[in-house]
Amino acid sequence: MAKVIEGLYYSESHEYVRIEGEYGYIGISDYAQHALGNVVYVDMPEVDDEVEAGEEFGAVESVKAASDLIAPVSGTVVEVNEALDDQPELLNQDPYENWIIKVELSDKTELDNLMEAAAYEEFCK
């Protein structure tokens, strides 16, 4: 069973967001990295790009497949995880430590559309 962390919000496309104040750290869930297999490349937006909930913001490529990244929340990218440029496999090692982008949230009510840990675990079954 894939690891699901309490206190995060999850989307049906298997991205998560961890909220810290006005910021959200977006990454892929443990379920997603298991499904993808060995990650070989992460396509990320630029700092200052706008991301919109439900819209594509990048992609993760593995030896098996490529998968679009869908933003669980809207906001402005304030940081990208540059470590993933050289070590995309960090997503396989610990997808919750190794977020993909940090955004300044534009609408916190969007979190109401996401699943909390228990609901996401059920969704993954």
pTM of the model: 0.97
State yes or no: pLDDT of 1 exceeds 90. no
Q: Percentage of the chain with pLDDT > 70?
A: 99
Measured CA to CA in angstroms, residue 115 lies from 32, 41, 67, 76, 91 at distances of 15, 27, 20, 22, 21
Share of the chain above pLDDT 90, in %: 97
The pLDDT assigned to 83 comes to 98
**Positions of E strands within the chain:** 9-10, 15-20, 23-28, 39-43, 50-51, 56-62, 66-70, 75-80, 101-105
Tally of CA atoms within 13 A in the half-sphere of 4 that contains its CB? 17
Mean pLDDT along residues 10-28: 98
